[in-house]
């Protein structure tokens, strides 16, 4: 019994030590936090010798926040987990002139190398050098590209869906043949370096925001709005570091905007209108052009609540769209409704007559065998409301905190599904995606830093059938259930989508922590990410209808 007790007490210690070792080794060479950047470099004197114990101060020129580190015996310094932005780096030591390097813009995931040579003199004397450090990544084996702030703000986007900018990166291919449905996600599908479409991960401020089907996040219309609230994003296409976790495809690592010491904002509206369009090939030349009105509007603002310490940023974006959908259908002609087909009289079963009357009357030519054409247009309204709010707090020189809440609520009365070609039913689809990120970064010393984060992703998609033609409930094939589908050879499909109603609800809780320790030119990074998923789904075609026992 004693031996057994000893073995049980020793074995977990070995497991714990092995686990810690594996965590540390798997994370070595992870330079920066997921949504931040880093500055490293060497301070030397005019002879090229290392300057020990020099004070290096990094200042964010947008928010006034600072990070102070000192050089080691090799003259090397490192500052990790710096928020993206415009920086100034100042190096000084007694007996030397202070050196200031300006024009440094850090982008997400960047590891900027800023080497400086300080000259003999007094600290009161300052030498200023302006110049952007090279963006070439020499510290990581990952293959990635950055869509910078100016590109996000100025490149044209159809529907202002910022995921279109992902296609600027090499190795990204749009999957044009991939489906779009609530079951498959409405967001645009793409493959990175040949990986599966479900292998991509979208991250916003370090929080996974994939939709409930693990695809590109998107609303009822497929758009990924919020371009006014995204500062920049990184697309990692190959060999991502361990901190990014489970993804085998592309990683879209986005950073939201923050407030700064200057008040800034935008007010905008974008308009598209069918009055400015020409008819397409399928539009009836004798009828008015189908309606198409799209208004995208919104406003954003950011600034200081307390200068250098507390900042806010907020954004609202709305979309209102009325799109006319042109349709062609094959329906029974008048003779067929009277029981005459190809000049021959047939008996019409009385049980069929109510369903036959659901077919609209044709307005086009006959094609034979009792079939004629129908051409018509229906309006497909869509709406989006996208809101982001963010607070940044520089609590001290060692602590920084931020919290962000984003809600993307959208709806669309979808008319283009094949089952709805006759316009009896449409899909009333609503999406509501909510993302929360809370983060605290603490600098223990110039060589030790920790970032704790909590993320929450709630993605909901609900689809109901909208009986826009007033089909009587008595015609449903199963009492109390939605109308079914009717297929008749030579005629267009009539009825409802057999999947509806359906719902998809996902909750994802994501606590995580990153610890970085620097020793000389080596950085050890370890941490954990826990993701707890909860899925609640239901499809109408999954229902089990129990029939009455035979008598």
Can you name the residues that pair with 59 across neighbouring β-strands? 66, 88
What does R_g of the chain's alpha carbons equal in angstroms?
31
137 lies in some domain: no
Q: Mind listing the pLDDT tens digit for each residue in 479-522? A: 888 888 888 888 888 887 777 888 999 999 999 999 988 887 78
Answer for the pair 236, 250: CB distance below 8 angstroms, yes or no: yes
296 lies in some domain: yes
**Mean pLDDT, rounded, for 375-397:** 92
DSSP-derived secondary structure for 260-304? -SS-EEEEEEEEEEGGG----TTS-TTSPPPPEEEEEEEEEEEEE
Question: Is the same domain home to 447 and 489?
Answer: yes
Q: Which of these ranges, 14-23, 93-102, 109-118, 271-280, has the smallest mean pLDDT? A: 14-23
| pLDDT, position 20 | 42
Question: Is the same domain home to 386 and 518?
Answer: yes
| pLDDT, position 175 | 81
Q: Which of these ranges, 33-37, 192-196, 453-457, has the smallest mean pLDDT? A: 33-37
Smallest CA-to-CA distance from 392 within 111, 85, 32 is with 85
Question: Is the same domain home to 161 and 118?
Answer: no
List the domain range (segments joined by +) for residue 86: 31-130
Question: Is the same domain home to 176 and 101?
Answer: no
Q: Mind listing the pLDDT tens digit for each residue in 294-341? A: 999 999 999 999 999 999 999 999 999 998 888 888 999 998 888 888
Whose tokens are 């009455």? That residue is 548
Q: Which of these ranges, 130-139, 197-206, 276-285, 300-309, has the smallest mean pLDDT? A: 130-139
* Three-state DSSP string of 86-112: EEEEEEECCCECEEEEEEEEECCCCEE
Calculate the CA dihedral of residues 24, 27, 31, 35 and round it to 10 degrees.
Answer: -120
Smallest CA-to-CA distance from 360 within 491, 475, 474 is with 491
Rounded Cα gap, residues 465 and 12, in angstroms: 56
The SS3 call for residue 219 is coil
| pLDDT, position 428 | 92
Report in angstroms the alpha-carbon separations of 421 from 30, 367, 465.
53, 18, 14
- pLDDT band at residue 10 using 50, 70 and 90 as cut-offs: very low
**Mean pLDDT, rounded, for 446-473:** 91
Question: Is the same domain home to 185 and 281?
Answer: yes
523 lies in some domain: yes
Residue 389 pLDDT > 50, yes or no?
A: yes
Answer for the pair 486, 495: CB distance below 8 angstroms, yes or no: yes
Question: Is the same domain home to 279 and 407?
Answer: yes
11 lies in some domain: no
Contacts 24+ apart (CB under 8 A), 389-393: 389/312, 389/313, 389/314, 390/229, 390/256, 390/257, 390/258, 390/259, 390/312, 390/313, 390/314, 391/310, 391/311, 391/312, 392/63, 392/258, 392/259, 392/310, 392/311, 392/312, 392/313, 393/309, 393/310, 393/311
441 lies in some domain: yes
- pLDDT band at residue 53 using 50, 70 and 90 as cut-offs: very high
DSSP letter (8 states) at residue 241: -
Smallest CA-to-CA distance from 493 within 425, 437, 435 is with 425
Task: Examine the fold and report which residue of 80, 100, 130 is the final residue of a domain before the chain moves on.
Answer: 130
Q: Say which CATH number the domain at 88 has.
A: 2.60.40.1120
219 lies in some domain: yes
Rounded Cα gap, residues 254 and 434, in angstroms: 16
Half-sphere exposure of 327 toward its Cβ, with a 13 Å CA cutoff?
Answer: 26
Smallest CA-to-CA distance from 148 within 82, 230, 216, 89 is with 230
| pLDDT, position 240 | 73
406 lies in some domain: yes
**Mean pLDDT, rounded, for 272-288:** 81
Rounded Cα gap, residues 122 and 119, in angstroms: 9
Question: Is the same domain home to 95 and 60?
Answer: yes
- pLDDT band at residue 547 using 50, 70 and 90 as cut-offs: low
Q: pTM for the full model?
A: 0.83
Can you name the residues that pair with 401 across neighbouring β-strands? 393, 440
Q: What are phi and psi of 197, to 5 degrees?
A: -65, -30
Q: Mind listing the pLDDT tens digit for each residue in 236-259? A: 877 777 777 777 788 888 999 999
Question: Is the same domain home to 93 and 176?
Answer: no
Rounded Cα gap, residues 176 and 190, in angstroms: 8
């Amino acid at each position: 019994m004693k031996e057994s007790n000893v073995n049980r007490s020793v074995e977990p210690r070995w497991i714990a030590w092995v686990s810690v070792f594996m965590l540390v080794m798997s994370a070595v060479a992870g330079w920066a936090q997921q949504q931040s950047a880093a500055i490293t470099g060497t301070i030397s004197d005019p002879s090229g010798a290392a300057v020990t114990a020099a004070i290096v101060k990094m200042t964010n020129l947008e928010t006034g926040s600072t990070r102070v580190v000192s050089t080691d015996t090799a003259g090397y310094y490192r500052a990790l987990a710096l928020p993206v932005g415009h920086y100034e780096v100042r190096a000084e030591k007694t007996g030397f002139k202070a050196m200031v390097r300006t024009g440094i813009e850090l982008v997400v995931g960047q590891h900027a190398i800023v080497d400086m040579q300080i000259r003999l003199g007094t600290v009161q004397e300052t030498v200023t050098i302006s110049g952007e450090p090279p963006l070439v990544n020499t510290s990581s084996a990952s293959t990635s590209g950055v869509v910078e702030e100016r590109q996000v703000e100025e490149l044209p986007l159809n529907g202002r869906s910022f995921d279109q900018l992902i296609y600027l990166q090499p190795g990204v291919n749009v999957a044009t043949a991939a489906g779009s449905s609530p079951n498959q996600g409405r967001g645009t599908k793409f493959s990175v370096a040949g990986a599966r479409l479900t292998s991509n991960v979208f991250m916003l401020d370090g929080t996974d925001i994939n939709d409930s089907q693990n695809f590109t996040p998107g609303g009822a219309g497929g758009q990924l709005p919020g371009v006014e609230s995204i500062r920049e994003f990184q697309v990692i296409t190959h060999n991502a570091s361990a901190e990014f976790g489970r993804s085998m495809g592309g990683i879209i690592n986005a950073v939201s905007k923050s407030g700064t010491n200057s008040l800034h904002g935008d007010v905008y509206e974008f308009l598209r209108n069918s009055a400015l369009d020409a008819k397409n090939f399928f539009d009836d030349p004798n009828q008015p052009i189908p309606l198409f009105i799209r208004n995208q509007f919104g406003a954003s603002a950011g600034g200081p609540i307390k200068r250098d310490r507390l900042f806010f940023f907020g954004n609202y974006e709305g979309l209102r769209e009325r799109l006319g959908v042109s349709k062609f259908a094959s329906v029974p002609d008048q003779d067929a409704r009277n029981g005459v087909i190809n000049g021959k009289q047939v008996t019409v079963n009385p049980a069929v007559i109510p369903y036959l009357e659901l077919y609209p009357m044709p307005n086009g030519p006959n094609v034979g065998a009792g079939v004629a054409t129908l051409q018509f247009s229906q309006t497909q309204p869509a709406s989006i409301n996208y809101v982001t709010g963010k607070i940044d707090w520089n609590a001290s020189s060692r602590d920084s905190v931020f919290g962000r809440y984003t809600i993307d609520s959208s709806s669309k009365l979808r008319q283009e599904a094949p089952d709805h070609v006759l316009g009896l039913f449409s899909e009333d689809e609503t999406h509501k995606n909510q993302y929360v990120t809370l983060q605290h970064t603490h600098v223990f010393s110039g060589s030790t830093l920790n970032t704790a984060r909590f993320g929450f992703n709630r993605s909901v998609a609900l689809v109901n059938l909208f009986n826009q033609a007033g089909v009587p409930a008595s015609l449903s094939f199963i009492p109390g259930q939605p109308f079914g589908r009717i297929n008749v050879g030579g005629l267009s499909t009539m009825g409802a989508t057999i999947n509806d109603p359906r719902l998809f609800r996902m909750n994802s809780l994501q606590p995580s922590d990153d610890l970085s320790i620097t020793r000389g030119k080596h950085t050890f990074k370890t941490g954990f990410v826990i993701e707890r998923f909860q899925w609640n789904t239901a499809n109408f075609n999954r229902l089990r209808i129990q029939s009455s026992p035979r008598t």
